[in-house]
Amino acid sequence: MGKKKTTFNISKIDNFSEWYSEILNKAEITDLRYGVKGFVVIRPWGARIIDKMYRIYESALRATGHDPAVFPAVIPEGNFKRESSHVEGFAPDVFWLESVKGDDKLALRPTSETAFYDMYNIWIRSYRDLPMKIYQRANVFRNETKATRPLIRSREFHWIEAHDAFATKKDAEEQVQDDIRMTEEVMHKIFGVPFLPMKRPQWDKFPGAEYTVGADSIMPDGKIIQQPSTHLISQSFVKAFDVKFVDEKEKEKTPWLTCYGPCMSRILASILSVHGDDNGLILPYTISPIQVIVVPFSPRDDSGEPNGKGVGDAVDKIRADLMAEYIDVKVDDSDKRPGEKFFFWEMKGVPFRIEIGEKELESGEVIVFIRDTKEKISVSIKDLPETIKNLGAEYDERLIARADEFFGDKVVDCKDKDTIKKALDSGKIARFSFCSAEKEGAECAEYVEKELSARVMGTRADLNEKASGKCPICGKKASVVVYAGKSY
RNA sequence: GGGGCCAUGGUCUAGUCUGGUAUGAUUCGAGGUUUGGGACUUCGCGACCGCAGUUCAAAUCUGCGUGGCCCCA
């Protein structure tokens, strides 16, 4: 931590891996010293961001008719193993609690369908109970065998899971579309993380789903990171839990279920990575724990107290005025010199800094520093709350626009293996016509995985893209347009 | 799933090849001088990842474990 032009010697663009590790540590987002593989401590700065994310996401869910619940973290083995494809998909990753006595072993939930549906079997009796839309904020556990990475792939992560039940398949499919819309409205339009909604190929859907739509985002190193996914649960799954209801005509029917799982800790990884620069974090105004940091200068004359206390009254008023407008503000009146405070809060990603000293008191205008553009502007003290709010909105729009710009040129149209490989090697997503997203395509996807070390992400869920020509892998007639990328 | 690199005060690091109780910086605590973009100074606290082995003697050599990072499939 010597004197450097930037806070980091590491460039985000040239050496993303190291930048990422470094930033989590320096900005006090996580601490890896807990010493259990795949389990990280999330520190206050990280936890406060995640808390704001949760609130925003939960209010979006409430607004679309979801209610909260809190389910146990353990699932009895019998419930967990009721649906065969689900077992097959998740069993390898489950942590089992061996020491608990009882008929059933207990699983630490890797996801909670088998907990929710056990209760839905009881709760759902009649068509009047539908739709039932319940979510929970939860930590879930998966015994990842692949290399773990803090926030990106941990063995414990923090998400929301919404489990919805509908009377008809049509209603359920509309919910899937609604979920994608919510991802767009929250993750993209508030958090500034762009993504592509991809319908997963049959061989890559959620275990126990009829189909899965994943939101694929991209990291600065060009790797794909799967963000919230949403699933239409298969009827075999529903039947395994014997969830049924009586319709208007007194006929017994099975409901259609969906689930949606936005993962706060993983979205945070995207937020930090997409927006940050070589001076540290750049947090969206909406979710920054501190939105405005006030740094008072000490008075220049000999009459005042040190550490800016000479401007104390004015600073107190500014703080109160901002707080009255629900702006998160902190005054850094510690003994550090101003320069050190500047670097520190810039590194932490705080959007705005107000500098105030005697000069400003006289003129009635303070300096406002803007983290992303590094501009300094003059703002009259009485207009501060209003101006900060406006600047905050512009700030987030700018972050989103910048992220979109980065994301914009990532998709490259490809015709054959060579162009696909070239696109992938330069950190892009390849788009090409492909034989099939049904089971027949699995072999070609395996080729893509083995030979090109990329994952077939699926087909666009929001567009109907027409295939042309032949599959570049097997040479059969192409039926779908798929996207592929190197993946986390 | 396969391969490689690494582990020394809170953090970063020298020492490891060639075995003899550990270097420097920073942080932290106390004091002084400072405060408009990472101040200076005095004093102080603080470490060899764990277990086993070899040895008179292990941070150093060997094995196993744990954790971190990177690459490939």
A366 phi, psi to nearest 5 deg: -105, 165
Over the stretch A407-452, which tens digit does the pLDDT of each residue have?
A: 999 999 999 999 999 999 999 999 999 999 999 999 999 999 988 9
User: What pLDDT was estimated at residue A206?
Assistant: 94
Q: Which nucleotide is nearest to A280 (CA to C1')?
A: B38
Q: Which nucleotide is nearest to A340 (CA to C1')?
A: B38
What is the set of domains in chain A, with CATH numbers?
A: 16-275 (3.30.930.10), 290-393 (3.40.50.800), 411-485 (3.30.110.30)
For B10, nearest residue by CA–C1' is A33
Mean pLDDT of A14-43: 93
Compute and round to an integer the Cα radius of gyration of chain A.
Answer: 26
DSSP reduced 3-state for A180 = helix
State, as a whole number of angstroms, the distance between the CA of A9 and the C1' of B14: 21
Q: Which nucleotide is nearest to A339 (CA to C1')?
A: B37
CB atoms within 10 A of CB A293: 25
User: What pLDDT was estimated at residue A104?
Assistant: 86
In angstroms, rounded to a whole number, what is the distance separating the alpha carbons of residues A55 and A65?
A: 15
Q: Measuring CA to CA, which residue among A109, A119, A120 is closest to residue A86? A: A109
Give me the percent of chain A exceeding a pLDDT of 70.
96
Over the stretch A314-338, which tens digit does the pLDDT of each residue have?
A: 899 999 999 999 999 999 988 889 9
In angstroms, rounded to a whole number, what is the distance separating the alpha carbons of residues A167 and A130?
A: 6
State, as a whole number of angstroms, the distance between the CA of A337 and the C1' of B34: 9
Task: Identify the residue whose tokens are 């839309």.
Answer: A133
User: What pLDDT was estimated at residue A303?
Assistant: 47
State, as a whole number of angstroms, the distance between the CA of A403 and the C1' of B37: 28
Q: Which nucleotide is nearest to A344 (CA to C1')?
A: B38
In angstroms, rounded to a whole number, what is the distance separating the alpha carbons of residues A414 and A420?
A: 5
For B11, nearest residue by CA–C1' is A1
Comparing A20-24, A66-70, A135-139, A268-272, the range with the smallest average pLDDT is A20-24
CA separation (Å) from A234 to A91, A93, A126, A239, A240? 18, 21, 20, 9, 10
User: What pLDDT was estimated at residue A3?
Assistant: 34
State, as a whole number of angstroms, the distance between the CA of A30 and the C1' of B49: 20
The DSSP element (H or E) to which A197 belongs, if any, is strand A196-199
| pTM for this entry | 0.96
DSSP reduced 3-state for A466 = coil
Mean pLDDT of A358-378: 95
Q: Which nucleotide is nearest to A342 (CA to C1')?
A: B37
* Dihedral angle over CA of A91, A92, A95, A99, nearest 10: 80
State, as a whole number of angstroms, the distance between the CA of A18 and the C1' of B17: 29
User: What pLDDT was estimated at residue A302?
Assistant: 45
Q: Which nucleotide is nearest to A451 (CA to C1')?
A: B73
State, as a whole number of angstroms, the distance between the CA of A275 and the C1' of B14: 37
CA angle A468, A471, A475 (to 5 degrees): 120
State, as a whole number of angstroms, the distance between the CA of A333 and the C1' of B32: 21
State, as a whole number of angstroms, the distance between the CA of A372 and the C1' of B60: 48
State, as a whole number of angstroms, the distance between the CA of A48 and the C1' of B13: 33
Partners of A366 in the beta sheet?
Answer: A379
The answer on pLDDT for A55 being more than 50 is: yes
In angstroms, rounded to a whole number, what is the distance separating the alpha carbons of residues A299 and A163?
A: 58
State, as a whole number of angstroms, the distance between the CA of A442 and the C1' of B73: 17
Q: Which nucleotide is nearest to A450 (CA to C1')?
A: B73
For B37, nearest residue by CA–C1' is A339
Q: Does ipTM surpass 0.85 in this model?
A: yes
State, as a whole number of angstroms, the distance between the CA of A24 and the C1' of B37: 24
Token pair for residue A405?
């710009």
Over the stretch A118-157, which tens digit does the pLDDT of each residue have?
A: 999 999 999 999 999 999 999 999 999 888 999 999 999 9
CB atoms within 10 A of CB A14: 11
Q: Which nucleotide is nearest to A306 (CA to C1')?
A: B35
DSSP reduced 3-state for A207 = coil
State, as a whole number of angstroms, the distance between the CA of A111 and the C1' of B44: 52
State, as a whole number of angstroms, the distance between the CA of A39 and the C1' of B5: 22
For B34, nearest residue by CA–C1' is A337
Q: Which nucleotide is nearest to A367 (CA to C1')?
A: B36
Chain B footprint bases within 7 A of protein beta carbons: 1-2, 10-11, 25-27, 34-39, 66-73
pLDDT band at A477; cut points 50, 70, 90: very high
Q: Which nucleotide is nearest to A16 (CA to C1')?
A: B70
